[in-house]
Structure formats: structure tokens, C-alpha cells
Structure 1
């Protein structure tokens, strides 16, 4: 689950208020993504900090239904297990109504966030559920800033704290339970942990009771080429905003942690596809102005820090961006020119505004 310069939703954190007062998710997605932060690689904030409103009490919770297969990938550091980033492992039968929903998957698990937009155009996480792979702890290592580098498990084992309700026959612990919000952690399977957080303990109860474990492919509004085998799919993120606003991203790397060894920058190839029919940068200082025409689309190709970025504008109503963020990833993708060649092969589905038409993006 990454956010190399902030995955599809993280820019909401820094978006300037729109004028007149309104919220432009597309703009926020685009305008905040350039500053790479390797360890702030996932949208939103930690579950224990999802504190937005008043708290309350909760009783014994029913266990999640279904079963979630954990795909063992062999030893990889101390993590030991991984989930498939191309597969959803749970859905929520209940969630609060919010204008933005982000679902992110990685080898460490899945996280679903329901996000509110404040009057200042900054987002607040109203509810969150994360279910993590065996050995990955109860926070994704990629977004836990106080854990070791390079994908080592973070916060393994049950934390100390106020005992929470019994969930699926297992004890839980309240990470927080106050007037500012509530969050709970529990082992949903031996060695595998889950976290649910919301404004109140009652909402946490409804979230947990609404977890439905599934085994189905991540779907996106586009299809794209698979990169060379050394670049493995490490993350996906699909974001829905108000109205027909949506975006999706895929991240690939030869490293499970998506990080350059010993450095603070990302090591990856990313595909970003955003519902946006613009044909220029519309005055944005975050998106370059087109400098050429490629296949009839305004385009821009840039080279920086040994990597390569390509933008194609108005590809059937989408802004397509492909980036090789570092020299090693660009080399694995195919060298100079490979980024633009890849971007030209990304195709929106026939009816992207109908989610039923979405496809596994690498099919």
C-alpha cells in the first residue's frame, strides 16, 4: 500500500480550498502527489489516529464471516507471509456514508478508508478497517513510521491497553476509546491482526460486524500491460470521490518495500489513471504543460533523478500517468522510452462510469 508522492488520496491532505467553496477530488489527486515520502506510502493515517468525534460503549462483537486464504510467499525478512495485491480480501456490509472511499491492497493486507471532506477541503478519515497478513503485525510496515525499514513487521503481537470486546472468540484491545473516537485491534487469524476505527465505539461495532471476507480480483476502470517479470505488482489503490470521480493506481517494484536500499526515496514503477478530461495542465504547477502530441493526445515526458515520467492527457476522458521513479526501475521496465510506450498501452474500459464494466487491470 503505497503513496510514492502520495497515492491517489493523500493529496487531499494538502489540497488548497477551492473557490467557490467546493471540493475537486480530481484536482486534489493530481496536485499533491509529487513529493515522494517513502514511509508515508499509503493514503490516510494510522488506524489508532482515526479520531474524529465522540466515543461510546460496545458489547461482544460477532466474528467476521467467510475465510481469507493467506498466500505464503516463503521467508522474506521477518514478515514470513503475504497477501496478493491483485485480490480483495474483504468487503464491508456496512460503512458510513462519506464522499470519498479508498481501498488499498498490498502484500501486507488490505485497508479500506471512508473519508470526509472538511470545510477547509482537507480530509478526515471517518472510518477504517485494515486486515493484515500473517506476520505483518497490526499496522502495515510501509506506513508505520516508528518501525524498522524495508518491510519488517510493525507492532507485532497484541498491544497493552484496555481490554476490548470478544471478536470471533478472540480478545481485542482498544487502541483508543474516548470522546475523540475509537479503534480496536484483534487477531482475526493465528498471527494475523485486524484494526477497525471510527468516530464512536458503536460505529466500530457496526464495522466489525459488517466485515465480509472475500477472494475476488481488484477491478479498475482500465487495462494495462504487465511490466517485465522482475517488476512485481506490490500495491493497488482505487479511490471513489463525489459523483463520477474516481481514480486507480498500480505500483510495481523489484523490492517488497518499494524503497531504494539505504535511501529515502521510492523505487518503483507506477501507473495512475484518473477520471479527468483535461487537455492541458489548466494552470497547475504540479502537472506539466503538454509539449507534444502522442497518438492524438497532448503529452509530456520528463526525466529526473535517473527516472522517467510520462503524461497522456484526455485518453477517452482520463489523465494517464506512468512513472519509473528511479534508474533501477526504469532499467527493469526497458530503459529510456519504456515509460511512454507503457502509457500508450493503457486503455480505459468501454463504459468506465459503470463500475460493473471494470476489469482486473492486468488481465
Structure 2
């Protein structure tokens, strides 16, 4: 949208500037991308930063304490693990939902080395987020880590750093210590239950906008917690495979959303364990099904060049990074960004080679 608004000025010479236009556009693209993800997974991690300040604004003195019935786990529930991983493999899924309310059919998984987030949500039919869509989110961290009390996109913190304000005693989850977290239960018909799923490691289930017909939100959260499956060790199936690991980098975080009507959204982050000075992972690859070859509210910028017959757009940043947007790739939109000069140098000075090394699988049933 920004591109279209500025179109009349496109040919007007600009004076030298210290403003990194590439980074400004990239940050705007990130916000647009998160709004799109939020529209399809209301409780997903893309919206948690917006809600992080909410606990301080919501009074709780007059909030009644719901009566939470004891709900036994279903026969499919896996036993609680004796130990937690020292670190997660971002390319694999450690835990999975067992039971969730049947209406929550959309799924989002966001992996990392010290945290995993799963979201189950009701399908969205509108391009704009539906504020009261029922959703459940699991947040789980590796050994020696804790979970922030608020709603944060990056929620893993060092053990003992989360604090205890707003925590209430809860019935143990499969024999393990548990607490109700009122800091995260800030939306209507919501509840947040955290427990020590393994010694020194915590998990939390947050449910939001639970319909009256489903019963008490705390009972729903507890039933989900009791029925989780640990150590499933599933590989994250993706719509792309690279011929070689990108620039010797390894997976650091994956975000994969799969929704109704064959909609999906994938963001892959690669690095060596250290973010850039701006907080980005060195290499980020974004893909979504999209046949249009122009920019709009979901994709910032119109193509200005081509690569292998596909409309494309190349931009660079003042810090030496660069982005490559490619439109109409077997019905996909593909965006690759090297967030620093060192990463771009490892890729041969541009992102064309990385794009050409990729094999795409646009149909979700063909993901590898």
C-alpha cells in the first residue's frame, strides 16, 4: 500500500539520506505479515506483543474465581516426561495437542531452540482478525527456562526470572505443580494454566473466547493440559527444500500456519545462534500461496525486475543486507531476506543463488 501511495513521487530525485528505506519497508512488511497471520490464528504468536501490556490495564478485584472441575485425561494422553530437552530442534515439533474443542481446526506452530508455541483456533472467513474467535495456545520451554507471565512473542526467560505476581494455586497437572496465571487471562472467557511438565521446565495453556456452551474456560484449559502429548519428535513439514543448507546456517525458528481452504503461511529463520544488532535472524524466508504478481496489503511492493521468468523485486539496506521478492512461483509468493552483510556475502553477494537452489512444494499434501 505504501508503494501505491508514493507512486506519484517515484521519479522525483531524493536528497541523500541516512534513513534505511529498505529496513523501514521490511519492518512495515513484518507488521503486515503479522496482521495476516493474526487474521487466521487469532491467538497466534503474531499478536501477543500487542497484548503484552494488557494485564496492567485490566482490574481483577471483582473477577469471580470459577469452580474448576477435575477432568481426567483422555486415554490418548501420553505420560509426563521425566526430563525436558536441554534445547529444542527448531526443525522438529516436540509437543502436540491431544484434545482441543472441535471448533479449533486451524493450526499454527512456532518453533525455536528454547521455546515452542502451538495454536489451535477457529477458522476465520474474514481477511481481518475476528477478535472473539475461540483459540487455545500452548507455550512450552526447554529445561532451565521459565515462561514470562504476560503474553509475549518470545516468552522463554531464564529460570526464576518470570516472577510470581498474579499466579494462583491450581490442582496439579498429572501430579506436577500447577498455577493459574491471571496475567495472561485478559480476554473475555479466557484462562491460563501453567505447570512444571518436567523438573525445571514449564508449559502453559492459554484459552481465549471460549463459548458458553463449552463450559468454564478454566475447565477447558485444564482438559487441554491433561491431554497434551510430549516428545512426539515430528519433523516440521515445509513447502520448500534447499539443495544445501543456506550459507551454512542452521534453522533457528520456524513459523507454520495451516488454515481452512488450503490457506497457509510459512516463515523460516536461519542463523548460528546469534541475532543481528536489530534483533533479526540473519536469514529469513517467507512463503504463502498467492498467484497475484502485484503488491497489496499482504505483500508490500510491486515487481521491478525478473528472475528465471518470474516477476521479482530486489532491495538492499544500508547495513549491507538485501531482500528478494519473487511473485508467481508455482502459485506462491516467496520472500528471502539476508539481514546483514556477512550473511549476504556467504550467499554469494545476492539471494538469486539461494532462490535457484530451492525446490518448492505449493500443495500442502506434498510438503516434505
TM-score normalised over the length of structure 1: 0.72
**Does 2:46 correspond to 1:43?**
yes
Match of 2:326 among 293, 312, 317: 312
> CA contact under 8 A between 1:8 and 1:248: conserved in structure 2?
no
> CA contact under 8 A between 2:263 and 2:289: conserved in structure 1?
yes
Q: Deviations over 1:79-98 (max 9, x none)?
A: xx311101101111222424
Q: Compute the RMSD of aligned alpha carbons.
A: 3.8
> CA contact under 8 A between 2:141 and 2:202: conserved in structure 1?
yes
**Does 2:115 correspond to 1:109?**
yes
Q: In 1, distance between residues paired with 2:158 and 2:240? A: 33
DSSP 3-state at the match of 1:277: coil
Q: Deviations over 1:251-278 (max 9, x none)?
A: 012334x242xxx442420111111112
**Does 2:122 correspond to 1:122?**
no
Q: Which residue of 1 aligns with 2:349?
A: 336
Is the helix fraction higher in 1 or 2? 2
Query: Which one is further off, 286-295 or 122-131?
Result: 122-131
**Does 2:247 correspond to 1:228?**
yes
**Does 2:99 correspond to 1:88?**
no
The total of aligned residue pairs comes to 309
Q: CA deviation at 1:348?
A: 1.9
Match of 1:323 among 337, 341, 366: 337
Q: In 1, distance between residues paired with 2:150 and 2:168? A: 24
Residues 191 and 123 (structure 1), Cα distance of their counterparts in 2 relative to 1, 3 Å cut: farther
Residues 292 and 184 (structure 1), Cα distance of their counterparts in 2 relative to 1, 3 Å cut: same
DSSP 3-state at the match of 2:95: strand
TM-score normalised over the length of structure 2: 0.71
Query: Over alpha carbons, which structure has the higher Rg?
Result: 2
Q: Which residue of 1 aligns with 2:22?
A: none
Match of 2:35 among 11, 16, 21: 11
> CA contact under 8 A between 2:89 and 2:112: conserved in structure 1?
yes
Matches within 5 A, 1:246-257: 246-256=264-274
Q: CA deviation at 1:296?
A: 1.5
Q: In 2, distance between residues paired with 1:239 and 1:7? A: 16
Match of 2:144 among 106, 125, 135: 135
DSSP 3-state at the match of 1:91: coil
- Any unmatched runs of 5+ in structure 2? 1-25, 59-63, 209-216
- Any unmatched runs of 5+ in structure 1? 15-22, 29-40, 73-80
> CA contact under 8 A between 2:197 and 2:203: conserved in structure 1?
yes
DSSP 3-state at the match of 2:234: strand
Q: CA deviation at 1:175?
A: 0.3
Q: In 1, distance between residues paired with 2:82 and 2:329? A: 37
DSSP 3-state at the match of 2:352: helix
